[in-house]
Structure 1
Amino acid sequence: MSVSLPHHSVLIVGGGQAGLSLSHHLQAAGVDHLVLEKHKAMHTWQTQRWDSFTLVPPNWQCALPGHAYAGPAPNGFMKKGEIVEYLDGFLAKLKPPLREGVAVESVRPLPGGGFQVRSSDGEYTADQVVVASGGYHQPIVPRLAERLPASVTQLHSADYRNPDQLPAGKVLVVGAGQSGAQIAEDLHLAGREVVLAVGEAPRCARFYRGRDVVDWLADMGYYDMPVTAHPLREGVRDNTNHYVAGRDGGRDIDLRRFALEGMQLYGPLQALDGDTLRFAPTLAAALDSADRTYNGINASIDAHIAKLGLDAPPPSVYTPLWAPEGERETLSLSASGITSVIWCIGFAPDFRWLAAPVFDGRGHPVHERGVTGVPGLYFLGLPWLHTWGSGRFSGVDRDAAFIAERILDRRAGPSAGVATAATEACPA
């Protein structure tokens, strides 16, 4: 028996900045579509950011379609509440066809073309589907965490809000990427004792030669560079973000300075043997590597200034303020007074609900600028989908416009539509 299901030309999975940016372009083109969001629109900005969170790129890079930043501080860094207000303004202006609190449980291509979508609120069919749910789905917490004493409070960075959340005592922050470094700084500024397990994250200057480094890199065309032109090609998608701060008007994050001020730095956490935490003996190498990146970015700015003959303050080279006397590889959990651990080692993608042959061996989607090998199936909002800004406010509009064009191209083609597939019987 045939069953008629609600049908849309385009179904967008995810109501974050990516999915809603695409909705903007589809509305402008008069394309019927529906956005399904598991939680609330833009929910991660309210639920997965700590209280003192600020943007790292300057405000002028907030350029959602039809909703560029128009506040008084284009070169400043919005705080968490200001970011939420900015996004609420975008949502109110857009008025998208959005259903919140609806989880997509499965998407599969139909034999006659188009897709069947099962959700927590029923089934749909769609001519085309755009996955705009991001790539940060499952907080990564190592199995080692299971062996920590119950007396030790554990949080993932997604759940950290402020130092008062944690019991008295020393805090172990595992991971020194963008989130880990900023959370360690947040705790440090609050007077908490911090042990920081440092990995291979790079760092960059906040300001150099009279301007924000982001401004220089924008002028140099870095943010327009497609992934296909990057020296690492698709490998850049695996890179850890540079750590730098937008807090208090913006500044460098220098782990060496933190060490001089009492923060204890170790290499990456590797194991727990009874009461003993074991760390890799790579702290010095990690700090040196981060500084090489820092100085390398500044050197590229020097070359840009020299090439164009620009008037700017003189160049400089960062020299280390502190260096470890030796590698500390062990730490007694109890003797050190550690009462809390914050895991800042990222997120893993989880696309198990998408039953389409578009993934590599690590579960990452294979695509070219968001277009997959399955006709009518796209990704949007992933890091380095096309450029550095693809997963950010700065570049998602360009990507959304591109996907909207591909959607329109397909609608105009001979394979558009799933009129037959939309009424196929589905197994109970």
Structure 2
Amino acid sequence: MTVNIKEVDTLVVGAGQAGIAMSEHLTRQGVPHLVLEKNRIAEAWRTNRWDSLVANGPAWHDRFPSMEFSDVDQDCFVPKDQVADYFNDYVKKFELPVISGIEVSNVEKNKEGSGFIVQTSDGVFHAQHIVSATGPFQSPVIPSIATEDHGIHQMHSADYRNPEALPEGAVLVIGAGSSGVQIADELLQSGKTVYLSVGPHDRPPRSYRGRDFVWWLGVLGLWDVPANEPGKEHVTIAVSGAEGGKTIDFRQLAERGMKLVGRTQSFNQSTVLFSNDLADNIRAGDDNYLSLLDRADAYIADNGLDLPEEPEARELLPDSHCMTNPTIELDMKAAGIQSIIWATGYSTDYSWLNVDAFDDNNQPKHHRGVSKQTGVYFLGLPWLSRRGSSFIWGVWHDAKYIADQIVIQRQYKQYKQYTSPAAK
């Protein structure tokens, strides 16, 4: 039986922010391509996040350079559905070749020639270049230490929607990055008793001296840091755009009644054990916070900027009772805990990409998104080229670099040996 194979120069897999950025640059450079998306455009923003989620950066910053958000204050933090609408409008404005409802199931080298054979739910494609734009948030991770007590309602933060969807009773939120803190704060405001397990974290100010922290990271060159600091590979960032944007202060959360504990170590039936590291984690977060204020003050002085002083930003509340008398062991039944929310991140799933582009841990092996497998590229991953790589604007700049590399490879392939007139 003859298989009808569809030919395309470049195939982009995924139509979230990475795939759309990639398509814009390929379109600008005249590279024939398609973007395949198994769901809707920017589906994760609509259905894989909680109801009240907003972007973590202001609208003027968390966008592509080619189009602003419409009908919003540019200093606001845009709700998730409007972020998804932005990407849909972007595809329409730039007439990008995005096809929804097609799932890619397998990519492998073409054994009979160049390029790759791509199996999809809409037939077979033959592509010279493959861009994986599926991002880092593919498979929610719940650690193996999770309790086997079936009387406890457990879920990943990806499945959390709102406080009303949880059972009655107290909640243990494990993970104090942006997602964990915002969910815990929302639950606390709803009237629930909340325990928050806090690990190592960076804690930048939401704003300082009239400028949002994204501005400070920009002028201080911190978005362009090319690699994570050794020892900080698993350190989360505690920052929030909720309620108009606010600096996360764990001492203040404790003062409002949130019960803070250290990193979750293990479960033994209904008992949970925590590390005795809560105070150290919070103080290290304070140091990170204060160091950014120091750098911002120095920048203002060096550049003669007229920005209002903010001495109150350096005022920290006293150590809370949960820091000075930490909870190391907790009987969840006695504490009334009926739910656990695991805000513990995601893993990647490249089971569909069967090419020689991975290391021994099945992680992409690449330089700035250009993999060791010629013709395969990765986009949207944290620290792909720098600190800003996983952010909306950062992925746009990474996509431009990858598009340039694809154009270069196309030019080499189109080379025909030059023969001088004298040799004819």
Same-fold status (TM-score > 0.5): yes
Q: Determine the structure 2 residue equivalent to 1:407.
A: 406
Give the Cα separation in 2 of the matches to 1:403 and 1:97.
18
For residues 270 and 373 of structure 2, the distance between their equivalents in structure 1, rounded to whole angstroms, comes to 51
2:45, 2:81 within 8 Å by CA — same for their partners in 1?
no
Deviations 1:317-361 (A, max 9, x none): 242433322221111011110011111000011112212222223
- Return the alpha-carbon distance in structure 1 between the equivalents of residues 242 and 122 of structure 2: 41
Return the alpha-carbon distance in structure 2 between the equivalents of residues 194 and 179 of structure 1.
Answer: 15
Task: Determine what percentage of the aligned residue pairs are the same residue.
Answer: 38
Kept after mapping to 1: 8 A contact 2:55/2:62: no
Is the 8 Å Cα contact of residues 113 and 415 (structure 1) preserved in structure 2? no
Correspondence 1:108 to 2:108: yes
Change (3 A) 1:95 1:239: farther
Counterpart of 1:169 in structure 2 is: 169
Partner SS state of residue 394, structure 1: helix
Residue in 2 that maps onto 1:218: 218
Consecutive unaligned residues of structure 2, counting only runs of 5 or more, are 416-424
Take 1:127 and 1:98, find their aligned partners in 2: how far apart are those partners? 18
Change (3 A) 1:57 1:311: same
Q: Does 1:312 align with 2:307?
A: yes
Higher RCO (C-alpha under 8 Å, 6+ residues apart) = 1
Q: Look up the match of 2:136.
A: 135
Alignment check: 8 A CA contact 1:349 1:363 kept:
no
Separation in 1, partners of 2:156, 2:178: 14
Counterpart for residue 118 of structure 2: 117
Task: Please list the CA deviations of residues 65-108 of structure 1 after superposition, one character each: whole Å capped at 9, or x if unmatched.
Answer: 53233444112211223223322321322333222222211111
Aligned Cα root-mean-square deviation (Å): 2.0
Task: Compute the displacement of 1:251 (Å).
Answer: 0.8
Q: Deviations over 1:265-300 (max 9, x none)?
A: 111111111221111111111111111111111111
**Could you tell me how far apart the structure 1 residues matched to 2:21 and 2:65 are?**
6
Q: Say which is worse superposed, 30-39 or 308-317, in terms of deviation.
A: 308-317
Deviation at 1:211, TM superposition (A): 1.9
Q: Distance in 2 between matches of 1:177 and 1:191?
A: 22
Mapped to 2, the partners of 1:332 and 1:270 lie a distance apart of 14
User: Among 293, 296, 301, which residue is 1:298 paired with?
Assistant: 293
Q: Structure 1 residues 23 and 291 mapped into 2: Cα distance closer, same or farther (>3 Å)? A: same
What's the secondary structure of 2:399's corresponding residue?
helix
Partner of 1:321: 318
2:418 maps to none
- Which letter does structure 2 place at the counterpart of 1:321? P
> What do the CA deviations read for 1:159-199 (whole angstroms, capped 9, x no partner)?
11110010111011011011101111111111211011111
Shifted more, 315-324 versus 80-89: the winner is 315-324
Among 252, 258, 262, the residue aligned to 2:257: 262
Q: CA deviation at 1:310?
A: 1.9
* Higher mean C-alpha displacement, 346-355 vs 78-87: 78-87
Distance 1:197 1:231 in 2: 24
> Scaled by the length of structure 2, what TM-score is found?
0.91
Distance in 2 (CA, whole Å) between partners of 1:101 and 1:247 is 32
1:226 deviation in Å? Answer: 4.7
In 2: Cα distance, 1:195 partner to 1:349 partner: 29
1:350–1:363 contact (8 Å) kept in structure 2? no
Per-residue CA deviations over 1:349-399 (Å, capped at 9, x if unaligned) read: 111221222222332211111111211111111112123332221112211
Deviations 1:380-425 (A, max 9, x none): 1111212333222111221111111111111111379xxxxxxxxx
1:82 partner SS: helix
CA gap 1:146/1:231 in 2 versus in 1, 3 angstroms: closer
- How far 1:303 sits from its partner (Å)? 1.5
Tell me the amino acid that sits aligned with residue 322 of structure 1: D
- Structure 1: distance between partners of 2:6 and 2:189: 53
**Secondary structure of the corresponding residue to residue 173 of structure 1:** strand
